[in-house]
Every structure is written in structure tokens, then in C-alpha cells.
Structure 1
């Protein structure tokens, strides 16, 4: 029995065939079979959402997969991943800072503190109207 026949994917494929057919494959054929079935194996994903939508007489399928990336990334993919990570992180930090500033302004206004006498951004009056 060759090393390829010991491979779990190949063994699983061969076990579904009659014994007389299993023994007819050459190592070269088994190698190509492994490539062909390997391309279809997705593995386990944290999020695996699949379904079918029927519109009129046609049916469309959708697949949404998400999970940890276990592939080796090229230099270009690594650069793009770092850029995307930087954009997401900077967006989150910006939103948090803006929320803190808004909360600080609302607390200041609720306490009746005027930093600039006679001037208001109108946020406090909008906030009071929103909850009245």
C-alpha cells in the first residue's frame, strides 16, 4: 500500500469504491485525485452560513464563511491585511473618542457649566428634546 493510499482523504474516497476498483489506481492518479478533492475541502469555520434563495424560476445559493485564517499570506496580502487592520482600529478609536467627547459635553451641560458664555453647540437642547 502506497503512502498516498494512507492519506485520510484518499482513504475515505477509496473506501466508498468496490475493492476491485480501489486497487486499479496508480500513484499518479491518486495524486491527481487528492488535488481534485483537496480543492473542495473547506474545513471548519467559526461562521458557516449557507442557504438557497428562490427568485421566480431560478434558485441562487449563498455562502458566508468566516474564521481564523490558517493560510500563508503573500507579502502583498500581509500588507493589505495590516492596512485593513489599521483602518478598522483607527475607526474604532475615533468613534470612542467622539462618544467620550459627546458624553463629556452632555455632562458639562447638565451641570450648567458654560465654557464660553452665551454660546452653545445646541447638542444639549437637542438631547433634552429627544428625551422629553
Structure 2
């Protein structure tokens, strides 16, 4: 037997009210319950550009685990703490990307130097050029 959408929406309101103190839940009027149902129905949290929800069920455990990765445009306003955290994460990401790019430039320059046969320190080598040549032989 399948439930229709109205029954599911009513179930969501019931679940919400069941999680409250019974005295508080009983104080809601019909209009307030309908308002709760309307708010629950208009939630926009399901529309993400990236919505990845894999489940891991291990045969020797009675539970299954899930991971949720969501991505998209943030439509809510941020608190000061969230803004500060976002700025720190942005700067850290910028630093990491910058260091990786600088490292790649140094590797490219080292390979170019080795290809041209320039030996800055006689008898010293990182072995990177030999490894790189071996990939194409």
C-alpha cells in the first residue's frame, strides 16, 4: 500500500510534533499545524547542483552508514563566524593551490634544465630526469 503525498506531508508534521515536549505539541492550533505543514512542504533543501549520498552497508555490522556531500549556491545569509571561517578556508585553499602551482613550475624548470643538459651541481641529481625519461622509453 503506497501513501499519497498528503499523507506523507501529514506524517512529517506528526514526526516534528512527536519530537517536541507533549505539552508544547498539544498547544498548536489547527492553523499553526497547517502553517508548519506549509513550511515543511516549501523547504528548498533538496535542490542542490551536487547531491551525492552513498551508503555503506557492511555485512558484519547491524548498521549501515551514509555520507552526504551537497554543493550549490548558498541562498542563506551567513553569520559572522561562518563568514570568518569561509574567509580562512578560502585563503588556505588559495595558499595550497599556489604552493602546488609553484611546485609544478619548479619541477617543469628542473626537467627543462635537465633536458638542456645544464648541470648546476656537478655529480648531484634528484633522479627526476631519469625517471621522466624512463616513462617514455
**Shorter-chain TM-score category?**
0.5 to 0.7
What secondary structure does 1:121 align onto? coil
Distance, in Å, in 2 between the alignment partners of 1:71 and 1:120 is: 54
Runs of 5+ consecutive residues of structure 2 not aligned to the other structure: 11-28
Superposed, 1:1-132 pairs within 5 Å as 25-26=30-31, 28-35=32-39, 37=40, 41-56=44-59, 58-132=63-137
**Superposed displacement of residue 50, structure 1:** 3.2
Do the aligned partners of residues 53 and 124 (structure 1) sit closer, same or farther apart at CA in structure 2, a change above 3 Å counting?
closer
Do the aligned partners of residues 62 and 127 (structure 1) sit closer, same or farther apart at CA in structure 2, a change above 3 Å counting?
closer
- Higher normalized strand content (fraction of residues): 1
What secondary structure does 2:33 align onto? helix
Distance, in Å, in 2 between the alignment partners of 1:60 and 1:126 is: 42
What secondary structure does 1:65 align onto? strand
Runs of 5+ consecutive residues of structure 1 not aligned to the other structure: 1-11, 18-23
Query: How large is the RMSD of aligned CA atoms in angstroms?
Result: 3.2
TM-score normalised over the length of structure 2: 0.62
